Amino acid sequence: MAISFSGLVSGLDTSSWVDAFVSVRQADVTKLQTQLASQKSTKTTLNDTRSTVSSLRTAIEKLTDAKFGGSFDLFSKSNAVSSNEEVFTATAGTGAKKQNYDIRVDQIATFTKAVSQFPASSVADDTTLLKNLGISNGKFTMYVDGVKNTININNETTIGDLKEMMANAGVNTEINADGAITFAPASEGTSLHVGTTTDTSNFMSLVGMARQEDGTYASTNSLYKATIATKLTSENSGFNQPIKAGTFTIGNAEFTIDENTTLSSLIYQINSNSEAQANAYWDDATGKLSITSTKEGASYINIEAGTSNFTDVMGLTASEWDAEGKVTGSQLLTEAQTIGKNAIFSINGTLMTATSNTVTSDISRLDGITLTLNRANTEDDGTTTLKVTQDSEGLKDALKSFVGAYNNFIDKIDTVTANGAEFHGESSLTSLKNTIRSYANGSNKTNGGIYKMLSEIGISTTKAESNNLSADTNKLYFDEDTFMKAMEENPDSVKSLLTGDNSILGMMEETVEQSLKAISGFFDVKTSTLDSNITKTEEKITKKNQNISNYKAQLEKKFQNMESMIAQMQQNYSRFSGGISM
């Protein structure tokens, strides 16, 4: 009789047997993984709770930081309100006293301005290119006795070319010693009209050509050679005198002119340098440089010639030079400067002056107040007043933040310590909540002010009443009206209750701080324990998985050996049975 096997030699499902044996031990790993997930979930909850407690601390500190004074003290913030901001505005800083002031502005401060006493540029001549005067390419039109004549201007057109084109049209063109240009009919009795809506050059508007009573045209602006694009030391710069390379001073800033310096680049340097304390401007229409102080008040702009004669050429200084070209003496041309004015104003009838329209407390003697004078009072203004009051907006916002953070804190602790929650039975958290809550609802009899409880300044719980049985008495509510009334009646007592020695918020802050303290605080200690447990559980899982892997390998090897032995037995049986004849 022959013996037969199905499947892999033995016909047994050894793979399922291995899985079954392994699954028994895998159950231990599954338990550990569930434990690990729980530990990590607990840590996440702990971190969320820590964050909520930290938010409460931050909200408390916005108020208790008043002890540091300055910008940290919300109780010292003030509002400064002008009754007429066209006359003056005001800002209040630390130390501003809460009261009203009568303020009258008689004169605002103005800026000193220095202007060249005479044109620094030469008058344009026949060789001057029109483009260097800022005149754009294009055309303008003239009618001589009604006959249309078109004058075309391009980049190469000079004043001499313009005169020639005008002459061909029957018009004489002249430029006088002041740089003014005139158009006049060449023939007596001939009519002249200049300009149409189709003109494309800016010639007419730039030079300001206007028809005169006698029928001629004259410019309101003068034409000068020098332009802001001209290199100052160039032989063809267009200035009345050659400008030397070298240095000069404006304000406290020294400037240098070299062979590449243009009037435009120099003006940019002046206006960009705060030490110059001035702004410069080149007026093409007058050929003059003007310098305006950036500081108000009745004082001269400091302008000094150096190794360059630039300020002399501009008519702002007068210097003497030796044969070697070195300055031997220089003086400020004070007549070239129009001195600014000081501000004149009165506070409660006391007359005062200031060199600036921004009047700080060292001038006004109004502690913590900065005035900005905008214009002088008129007869129609009446009395202008400054009202300095307590700025309670920052305080109210801080108290709203505190109430919100407190309510979030209570909700969070109740949630994480509830039945079935991760920290159910955690006495440290429930104790923290109860302590903070007792401060919020209790009386602080050690406080020196008239207010002993938060409820007296508008921070309280809502009591459950017959018509409001669902009211949440755990939460705090903020009554702005009650708070503002307390601030008006006794602001010092409000501050003492919230932030003074042994204040309610001060005690809250200390309690919360202890729980958040590094290393020894509840959250750090709990985190350290959880981290340790998580690490140990992960190590157990790793070790268990390695053991299971080894166990599985051993089982598979044993079954493989069994299969081999069965296969060998089958081979022996086949040889044995093959030798027996029936």
| Domain positions in the chain | 10-77+391-462+471-560, 79-109+342-390, 130-219, 231-338
% residues pLDDT > 70 (the chain)? 94
Give pLDDT, residue 19.
74
Rounded to 5 degrees, what are φ and ψ at 333?
-85, 90
pLDDT tens, position by position, 72-101: 888 888 899 999 999 999 999 877 888 999
Q: How many Å apart are CA 223 and CA 176, to the nearest integer?
A: 10
Give pLDDT, residue 27.
83
Q: What is the mean pLDDT of residues 556-563?
A: 78
Q: How many Å apart are CA 34 and CA 185, to the nearest integer?
A: 108
Give pLDDT, residue 324.
79
Count CB-CB contacts under 10 A for residue 293.
24
Q: Is 185 exposed, middle or buried (0-12, 13-18, 19+ CB in 10 A)?
A: middle
pLDDT higher than threshold 70 for residue 463: no
Vertex 189 angle, CA 183 and 195, to 5°: 40
Confidence of residue 472 (pLDDT cuts 50, 70, 90): low
Axis-axis angle for helices 522-578, 427-441 (nearest 10): 150
Give pLDDT, residue 563.
74
Give pLDDT, residue 1.
38
Q: What is the mean pLDDT of residues 514-522?
A: 92
Q: Where are the alpha helices (DSSP H) in 122-280?
A: 159-168, 203-207, 263-272
Q: Which of 35-44, 185-194, 389-398, 547-556 has the least mean pLDDT?
A: 547-556
Which residue has better confidence, 446 or 8? 446
Residues whose CB is less than 8 angstroms from the CB of residue 553 and which lie 6 or more positions away in sequence, other chains included: none
pLDDT higher than threshold 50 for residue 221: yes
User: Quick check: 327 and 306 in contact, CB under 8 A?
Assistant: yes
Give pLDDT, residue 15.
77
Give pLDDT, residue 7.
34
Buried b (16+ CB within 10 A) or exposed e, 529-541: ebeeebeebeeeb
Query: What contacts 24+ positions apart, CB below 8 Å, involve 529-537?
Result: 530/39, 530/42, 530/43, 530/46, 531/43, 533/39, 534/36, 534/39, 534/40, 534/43, 537/32, 537/35, 537/36, 537/39
Q: Which two tokens stand for residue 481?
A: 């009206």
- Element at 64 (helix H, strand E): helix 14-64
What is residue 243's DSSP assignment? P
Residues whose CB is less than 8 angstroms from the CB of residue 225 and which lie 6 or more positions away in sequence, other chains included: 121, 122, 123, 124, 125, 128, 132, 237, 238, 239
For residue 78, give the nearest of 390, 541, 489 by alpha carbon: 390
Torsion of CA 260, 265, 269, 272, to 10 degrees: -150
User: Quick check: 199 and 141 in contact, CB under 8 A?
Assistant: yes
Residue 390 β-bridge partners: 78
Give pLDDT, residue 387.
95
Q: What is the mean pLDDT of residues 405-420?
A: 94
Confidence of residue 393 (pLDDT cuts 50, 70, 90): confident
Give pLDDT, residue 77.
84
pLDDT higher than threshold 70 for residue 465: no
Confidence of residue 5 (pLDDT cuts 50, 70, 90): very low
pLDDT tens, position by position, 11-25: 566 677 777 777 778
Confidence of residue 574 (pLDDT cuts 50, 70, 90): confident
User: Quick check: 526 and 46 in contact, CB under 8 A?
Assistant: yes
Average pLDDT, the chain: 88
Give pLDDT, residue 580.
58
For residue 174, give the nearest of 165, 189, 184, 187 by alpha carbon: 184
Give pLDDT, residue 267.
96
- Element at 148 (helix H, strand E): strand 147-153
pLDDT tens, position by position, 150-171: 999 999 999 999 999 999 999 9
pLDDT tens, position by position, 318-376: 999 888 778 888 899 999 999 999 999 999 999 999 999 999 999 999 999 999 999 99
For residue 399, give the nearest of 492, 525, 494 by alpha carbon: 494
Q: Where are the alpha helices (DSSP H) in 257-385?
A: 263-272, 310-313, 361-364
Place of tokens 């938010």: 55
- Element at 184 (helix H, strand E): strand 181-185
Q: How many Å apart are CA 423 and CA 522, to the nearest integer?
A: 13
pLDDT higher than threshold 60 for residue 578: yes
pLDDT higher than threshold 50 for residue 3: no
Rg (CA), the chain: 47
Give pLDDT, residue 462.
66
User: How many helices (DSSP H) and strands (DSSP E) are in the chain?
Assistant: 12, 26
Residue 91 β-bridge partners: 370
Q: Where are the alpha helices (DSSP H) in 425-521?
A: 427-441, 480-489, 491-499, 504-516
- Element at 385 (helix H, strand E): strand 384-390
pLDDT tens, position by position, 288-299: 999 999 999 999
